[in-house]
Homo-oligomer: A and B are copies of this chain.
Amino acid sequence: MKLYSYFRSSASFRVRIALNLKNLSYDYLSVHLLRSGGEQLQPEYRKLNPDALVPTLVDGDATLQQSLAIIEYLEETHPALPVLPRNPVDRAYVRAIALQIACEIHPLNNLRILKYLKHELDVSEEAKNAWYHHWIEQGFDTLETRLANDSRTGQFAFGDTPTLADICIVPQVFNAQRFNVDTQRYPTIQRIYDHAMQLDAFARAAPGQQPDAE
């Protein structure tokens, strides 16, 4: 398998964790989002990923986009070492946590949005940071409430083995810390992050460990 990835991309980070958790090896192909006017915008890459986003996973003849779709694909094609529970209600719970991050937090803070705020809306650096913090904190507030009160929370978001929920939580915490959000305010989220990062599958997937890390 080949993974088109950018070291700092949270969505790429998610897929790297899932591949590692399933003991799947892959070739790492860097797509630098800032160099050469954005390598993701080059016509050759857009043939693989019409949305000009990372990651893209190539598995044989199949070219797959969108991190959560890729991880569901890996779960279906490599069901050993599952990242989703068995019971449909529990699967929906884990997916809801993943989607809360992927749909409600992450999209508001990625590169193209911050660029638009700065260049099109002429928003100050301070207001841009406030925007960033607002959506992370609003999302983490409700995620913390959920995790702190649900009996399914264990060492990870669902019990004591990592699932799709943790695969989304860890990159979002990493990203938040990079932008100086005080994640200690969210003790359950922070605890899950710390625990996950002790596992090789998470640690090896971290941005700083990638071949294109700066």
In the bound assembly, the distance between CA atoms of A117 and B92 in angstroms comes to 32
Chain B residues with CB under 8 A of A102: 99, 103
Evaluate contact between A88 and B73: CB separation under 8 angstroms: yes
Q: How many residues of A contact B (CB 8 A)?
A: 44
For A64, the chain B residues whose CB sits under 8 A away are 89, 92-93, 96
B131 touches A121 (CB 8 A): yes
The minimal Cβ–Cβ distance linking A6 to chain B, given in whole angstroms, is 16
- How many copies of this chain? 2
Contact call A51/B142, Cβ cutoff below 8 A? yes
Residue of B nearest to A98 (CB): B69
Residue of B nearest to A147 (CB): B50
* Interface flags, A25-67, vs B, CB<8A=1, else 0: 0000000000000000000000000111100000000101110
Give chain A's interface residues, CB within 8 Å of chain B.
50-53, 62, 64-66, 68-70, 72-73, 76-77, 88-89, 91-93, 95-96, 98-100, 102-104, 106-108, 113, 116-117, 120-121, 123, 127, 130-131, 134, 142, 145-146
For this complex, 22 residue pairs linking A to B, each with C-beta atoms less than 8 Å apart, are A51-B146, A64-B96, A65-B100, A68-B95, A68-B103, A69-B93, A69-B96, A72-B92, A72-B95, A73-B89, A73-B92, A76-B88, A99-B102, A103-B106, A104-B107, A107-B107, A108-B108, A116-B131, A116-B134, A120-B127, A120-B130, A120-B134
